[in-house]
Amino acid sequence: MNYITSTIAALGLTAGMAAAQELDLPSQMSWTAYDTGSAGYNQAVAIGAALQDAAGVNLRVLPGKNDVSRTEPLRQGRVEFSATGVGGSFMAQEGVFDFGAENWGPQPIRVLMANNGGAINLAVGVAGDLGIEEFSDLKGKRVAYIVGAPALNVNTEAYLAYGGLTWDDVERVDFGGFGASWTGLIEGQVDAAFASTNSGKAYEAEAGPRGLFWPPIDPENTEALDRMTAIAPFFTPNKAVVGATIDGTDGYQGAGYAYPVLTAIESTDADLVYNMTKAMVELFPQYDGKAPGIGGWALDKQDMEWVVPYHEGAIRYFEEQGVWNEEAQAHNDNLIARQEALAAAWEETKAASPDDWEAAWSEARRKALQDGGFDVVF
């Protein structure tokens, strides 16, 4: 039993009205999440039901087609939190892809908690009627590209790289949102698309006329994995046991990362974040099992040294529970320093008014990270 697990056991956390009465949350709240039918949306709805039953909180879940549409309401303060992925968290922090546009820039994203279940994979699924066995077999096939969703597209690119391919080796088919891409796979408009294995859309594809297949990732193939992580460093090999075509089997050897990630921004009220984090932990028994893969929200599954910093309100709760330490704080401080270096480079680039914004920001960003001694990604 690890330190966090034993600490939680000692706490004897229980759900119910007694715990809920101690939560100081607004009666009305809003989150953004992935499209209707996605794993992130389904989990947000299940968490909302627990909040309603235990604390009388009405959680409105707003589906967003892409990373920008999920992050914009958070940036504008129209929602309190976002249940997002690496796009709305890591890539927004980094100011890359769509977040590198002149009207965006690196965002001061903060994490409350993340689903680190390990029960699911984040993978590229292919139509089962194609006879594809490996990612290299996607050469010449139609692969979904989601406009305005850099995380999904980078993830797909990483899987292509695992198979020794690039976007130039496949036929890119553009879609306006995650859900549309999987409808396209089911209806024969595209051959491969990215999703979590427990996505409702993946289950629809499994039951559809074409069927569904997840090409495998070999954790011993270091050369292919190096190609994959060079594109998306947050991926790690993982054997999923939950998802379309996977449930009831020995599992699917693929890759994954934290998803969904519950985020705020730096300026979000610390007391609100504290109470939302507390609700996520103390109501966990009430929403656990209510959506596929939702068990990864458990406190003992949290990675306190992730790639995006935690909010001070969440840290306050973790400190009270004895699951935050000096190493986690030092890591968090370094991530905040990274964000500050990127923000400063962004302001300097804007002040220079370059003719070629994309090239100028790319150069300035990489230089700021190198000068600050931070890892250069993207």
CA atoms of 290 and 128, how far apart (whole Å): 28
Torsion (CA) 45, 48, 54, 56 in degrees, nearest 10? -130
CA 350, 354, 357, 362 dihedral sign is negative
- Res 66: pLDDT: 86
- Res 377: pLDDT: 84
pTM listed for this prediction: 0.79
Kindly indicate the confidence band of residue 2, based on its pLDDT and cuts at 50, 70 and 90: very low
- Res 37: pLDDT: 84
Q: Is the pLDDT of residue 346 over 50?
A: yes
pLDDT in tens, 224-242: 999 998 888 888 899 999 9
Q: Which amino acid is at 44?
A: A
Residue positions counted in the chain: 378
Q: Is the pLDDT of residue 321 over 80?
A: yes
DSSP β-bridge partners for residue 136? none
- Res 118: pLDDT: 80
- Res 117: pLDDT: 77
pLDDT in tens, 56-68: 999 999 999 888 9
Q: In the chain, count H helices and then E strands.
A: 14, 12
- Res 233: pLDDT: 81
29-38, 43-52, 148-157: segment of lowest average pLDDT: 148-157
- Res 279: pLDDT: 98
DSSP state of 359: H
pLDDT in tens, 93-139: 999 988 999 999 999 999 999 998 788 899 999 999 999 999 999 99
User: Which element (helix H / strand E) includes 203?
Assistant: helix 200-207
Mean pLDDT computed over 181-199: 96
Give the 3-state secondary structure of residue 176: coil
Mean pLDDT computed over 13-35: 75
- Res 21: pLDDT: 53
CA atoms of 337 and 21, how far apart (whole Å): 37
pLDDT in tens, 359-370: 999 999 999 999
Question: Can you read off the two tokens belonging to residue 349?
Answer: 């680039």
- Res 8: pLDDT: 43
Kindly indicate the confidence band of residue 337, based on its pLDDT and cuts at 50, 70 and 90: very high
CA atoms of 339 and 18, how far apart (whole Å): 39
Higher per-residue confidence, 8 vs 157: 157
Angle at Cα 11 formed by Cα 9 and Cα 16, nearest 5°? 100
Note the Cα 176 to chain centre separation in Å: 19
Answer whether 162's CB lies under 8 Å from 227's CB. yes
Kindly indicate the confidence band of residue 185, based on its pLDDT and cuts at 50, 70 and 90: very high
The Cβ of residue 39 has, within 10 Å, a number of other Cβ atoms equal to 30
pLDDT cut 90: percent of the chain above it: 83
Question: Which runs of E-coded beta strand occur in 252-359?
Answer: 252-256, 261-265
Mean pLDDT computed over 281-286: 98
- Res 246: pLDDT: 97
Answer whether 215's CB lies under 8 Å from 221's CB. no
Answer whether 170's CB lies under 8 Å from 142's CB. yes
- Convert 118-161 into a string of H (helix), E (strand) and C (coil): CCCCEEEEEECCCCCCCHHHHCCCEEEEECCCHHHHHHHHHHHH
Q: Is the pLDDT of residue 180 over 90?
A: yes
Torsion (CA) 89, 90, 94, 95 in degrees, nearest 10? -40
Question: Nearest Cα to 240, choosing from 209, 219, 210, 211?
Answer: 219
Kindly indicate the confidence band of residue 302, based on its pLDDT and cuts at 50, 70 and 90: very high
The Cβ of residue 267 has, within 10 Å, a number of other Cβ atoms equal to 9
Q: Is the pLDDT of residue 164 over 60?
A: yes
